[in-house]
């Protein structure tokens, strides 16, 4: 059953829903923008493009010293493995043991003894539920980097955005064909991915033409659905965005080309995980660059990366096996950016479940359902046996999982579908891996 807050929101008139969305947007605005944001953004604007290894080593040592002083897990880890600070070379980082998801999920010592009021939750590409904490300084620094990235492509804070989101901003059973809500403090029109359907896409197009955003961001899967409709029906847009900034999913070359063609705007990708991984963004030459000020990315086995993030003081990530795969390159870029070039990002997927009504519920939406639980689910997999039947397999933590957690999890999954979808949850001891060693979070078995 929906929570009390969900019920109040769902039963409120549309203007009240917009007001509530804007109220929450004001809270986010105050968290994201402040003196730390201003300081970091000014620093980025006046930085030199060349960033020597010595600067990165200094950043790394400052972060490791912080971990040693304020974090019991790392203090004990450094002592057990005779890690002496400061490190003299970046390569010495490899002396520090890898941080696994299980440790991040279960060890309370991983949280630092500093004020870190901002909670980040993720279902992850592997379906493992995680909660991490950020300091205000970390959060604002990350936002400064993301805004600086967009600024380089002509979009600045205060311009109008159209964001395609998987959050349940519109009740599933609403009668009015208004599948968007407005976040006034951020000049952000939020479009519900959950309500995408071939019958509803014309309504989205009408809204976009009325709102005329300066940029589009969010789920590329949803934006591609709009672009496909526009192309198939030869429908014209009445605006031309400055740029498109997809997030969360892997963007295929085909999808990128379609978005650029139909929206008549350049597409610039980014990588910024909810856990706080270092930021990777695309330059005007089409290359993905690590922002060295935010951390270090190391290549691991089978392309799986290890990340050390300098913007995770609340829950420090040092050589964290995040579960994503990247291909790193030694090439230099004409843009002059010194950050490591990332040839490809392979860890995000565009798998989805298709409902009997023709809606698509994407993998990111499904894995995000576990984020409401207190780290009590280890992994999930969704099997679509029939067009109207799905089964969510979940691996529970025997010590943390409580009986009501299955009810809560099923409620979150049900919110993504209409009553026509039959949903079953099943606890399993483990989820079988594919021949390539990875777990497919979504498997459409009826196709």
Higher-pLDDT residue of 168, 39 = 39
- Give the gyration radius of the chain's Cα atoms: 22
Confidence of residue 9 (pLDDT cuts 50, 70, 90): confident
Confidence of residue 50 (pLDDT cuts 50, 70, 90): low
- Tell me if 372 is assigned to some domain: yes
SS (H, E, C) 392-403: EEEEECCCCCCH
- Tell me if 81 is assigned to some domain: yes
Averaged pLDDT for residues 132-150: 97
In this predicted structure, the answer to whether residue 128 has a pLDDT above a threshold of 50 is: yes
In angstroms, the Cα distances linking 201 to 120, 190, 315 are: 31, 14, 40
Tokens of 281: 């963004």
The 10s digit of each residue's pLDDT in 332-363 is: 899 888 788 998 876 554 578 888 988 888 77
Q: Can you give the pLDDT at residue 190?
A: 97
Q: Which of 267, 297, 332 is the last residue of a domain?
A: 267
Confidence of residue 370 (pLDDT cuts 50, 70, 90): confident
Tokens of 111: 């949280």
In this predicted structure, the answer to whether residue 224 has a pLDDT above a threshold of 90 is: no
Q: Can you give the pLDDT at residue 438?
A: 55
Cis peptide before 155 (omega within 30 of 0): no
Report the 10 Å Cβ neighbour count for 388: 16
| 8-state DSSP, 128 | -
Are both 162 and 236 inside the same structural domain? yes
- Strands (DSSP E) along 9-101, which ranges? none
Least-confidence region, from 27-31, 121-125, 207-211, 247-251: 121-125
Are both 169 and 244 inside the same structural domain? yes
Q: Can you give the pLDDT at residue 173?
A: 76
In this predicted structure, the answer to whether residue 250 has a pLDDT above a threshold of 90 is: no
- Tell me if 308 is assigned to some domain: yes
User: In the structure, how many helices (H) and strands (E) does the chain have?
Assistant: 12, 20
Are both 247 and 185 inside the same structural domain? yes
- Tally of structural domains, the chain: 3
- Tell me if 21 is assigned to some domain: no
Averaged pLDDT for residues 277-292: 95
Confidence of residue 248 (pLDDT cuts 50, 70, 90): confident
Are both 255 and 160 inside the same structural domain? yes
Higher-pLDDT residue of 388, 344 = 388
Are both 52 and 90 inside the same structural domain? yes
CATH number at residue 413: 3.30.300.30
* Under 8 Å between Cβ of 211 and 189: yes
* Under 8 Å between Cβ of 340 and 330: no
- Tell me if 1 is assigned to some domain: no
H or E element, residue 162: strand 161-165
Report the 10 Å Cβ neighbour count for 386: 11
CA distance 389 to 4: 27
To 10 degrees, the CA torsion angle through 319, 324, 329, 333? -100
Are both 358 and 331 inside the same structural domain? no
Averaged pLDDT for residues 199-208: 95
* Under 8 Å between Cβ of 427 and 403: no
The 10s digit of each residue's pLDDT in 72-121 is: 999 999 999 999 999 999 999 999 999 998 899 889 999 999 999 998 87
Higher-pLDDT residue of 392, 352 = 392
Interhelix angle 53-70/72-80, nearest 10 degrees? 110
Confidence of residue 131 (pLDDT cuts 50, 70, 90): confident
Share of the chain above pLDDT 90, in %: 62
Confidence of residue 435 (pLDDT cuts 50, 70, 90): low
Confidence of residue 212 (pLDDT cuts 50, 70, 90): very high
Q: Which of 238, 267, 296 is the last residue of a domain?
A: 267
Torsions phi, psi for 438 (to 5 deg): -100, 160
Length of the chain: 447
In this predicted structure, the answer to whether residue 204 has a pLDDT above a threshold of 50 is: yes
Tokens of 292: 């060295």
Are both 44 and 126 inside the same structural domain? yes
Q: How many whole angstroms from its chain centre is CA 213?
A: 22
Share of the chain above pLDDT 70, in %: 93
In this predicted structure, the answer to whether residue 2 has a pLDDT above a threshold of 60 is: no
The 10s digit of each residue's pLDDT in 179-203 is: 999 999 999 999 998 888 889 999 9
State the average pLDDT for the chain.
89
Least-confidence region, from 278-292, 309-323, 344-358: 344-358
Single out the residue of 132, 124, 130, 162 nearest to residue 241, CA to CA: 162
Confidence of residue 1 (pLDDT cuts 50, 70, 90): very low
Are both 311 and 390 inside the same structural domain? no
Domain containing residue 387: 352-444
H or E element, residue 206: helix 201-211
Averaged pLDDT for residues 260-283: 94
In this predicted structure, the answer to whether residue 123 has a pLDDT above a threshold of 60 is: no
Averaged pLDDT for residues 123-146: 83
Are both 108 and 164 inside the same structural domain? no
CATH number at residue 192: 3.40.50
- Tell me if 12 is assigned to some domain: no
Averaged pLDDT for residues 63-68: 98
- Tell me if 273 is assigned to some domain: no
Are both 129 and 55 inside the same structural domain? yes
- Tell me if 422 is assigned to some domain: yes
Q: Which of 246, 267, 288 is the last residue of a domain?
A: 267
Averaged pLDDT for residues 273-292: 93
Are both 337 and 389 inside the same structural domain? no
Averaged pLDDT for residues 257-266: 94
Are both 128 and 175 inside the same structural domain? no
Q: Can you give the pLDDT at residue 412?
A: 92
């Amino acid at each position: 059953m929906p929570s009390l807050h969900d019920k109040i929101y769902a039963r409120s008139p549309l203007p009240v829903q917009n007001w509530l969305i804007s109220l929450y947007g004001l809270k986010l605005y105050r968290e994201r923008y402040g003196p730390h944001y201003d300081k970091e953004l000014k620093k980025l604007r006046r930085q030199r493009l060349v960033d020597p290894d010595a600067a990165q080593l200094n950043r790394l040592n400052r972060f490791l010293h912080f971990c040693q002083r304020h974090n019991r897990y790392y203090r004990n880890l450094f002592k057990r493995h005779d890690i002496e600070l400061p490190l003299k070379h970046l390569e010495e980082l490899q002396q520090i043991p890898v941080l696994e998801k299980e440790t991040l999920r279960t060890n309370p010592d991983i949280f630092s003894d500093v004020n870190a009021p901002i909670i980040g939750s993720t279902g992850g590409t592997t379906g493992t539920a995680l909660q991490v904490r950020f300091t205000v300084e970390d959060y604002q620094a990350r936002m400064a980097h993301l805004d600086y990235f967009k600024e380089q492509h002509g979009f600045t804070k205060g311009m109008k955005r159209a964001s395609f989101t998987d959050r349940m901003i519109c009740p599933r059973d609403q009668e009015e064909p208004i599948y968007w809500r407005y976040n006034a403090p951020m000049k952000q029109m939020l479009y519900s991915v959950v309500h995408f359907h071939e019958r509803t896409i014309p309504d989205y197009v009408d809204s976009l033409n009325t709102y005329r955003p300066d940029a589009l961001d969010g789920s590329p899967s949803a934006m591609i659905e709009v672009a496909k409709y526009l192309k198939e029906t030869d429908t014209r847009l009445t605006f031309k965005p400055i740029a498109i900034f997809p997030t969360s999913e892997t963007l295929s070359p085909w999808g990128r080309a379609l978005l650029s063609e139909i929206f008549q705007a350049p597409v610039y990708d980014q990588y910024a995980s909810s856990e706080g991984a270092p930021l990777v963004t695309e330059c005007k030459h089409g290359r993905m660059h690590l922002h060295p000020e935010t951390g270090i990315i190391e290549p691991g086995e089978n392309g799986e990366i290890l990340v050390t993030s300098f913007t995770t003081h609340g829950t420090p990530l040092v050589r964290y096996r995040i579960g994503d795969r990247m291909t790193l390159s030694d090439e230099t870029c004409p843009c002059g950016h010194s950050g490591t070039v990332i040839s490809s990002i392979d860890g995000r997927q565009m798998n989805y479940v298709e409902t009997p009504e023709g809606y698509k519920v994407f993998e990111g939406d499904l894995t995000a359902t576990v984020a409401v639980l207190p780290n009590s689910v280890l992994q999930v997999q969704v099997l679509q046996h029939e067009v109207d039947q799905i089964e969510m397999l979940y691996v529970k933590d025997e010590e943390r999982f409580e009986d009501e957690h299955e009810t809560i999890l099923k409620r979150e999954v049900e919110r993504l579908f209409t009553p026509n979808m039959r949903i079953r949850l099943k606890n399993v001891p483990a989820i079988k891996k594919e021949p390539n060693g990875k777990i497919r979070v979504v498997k459409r078995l009826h196709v």
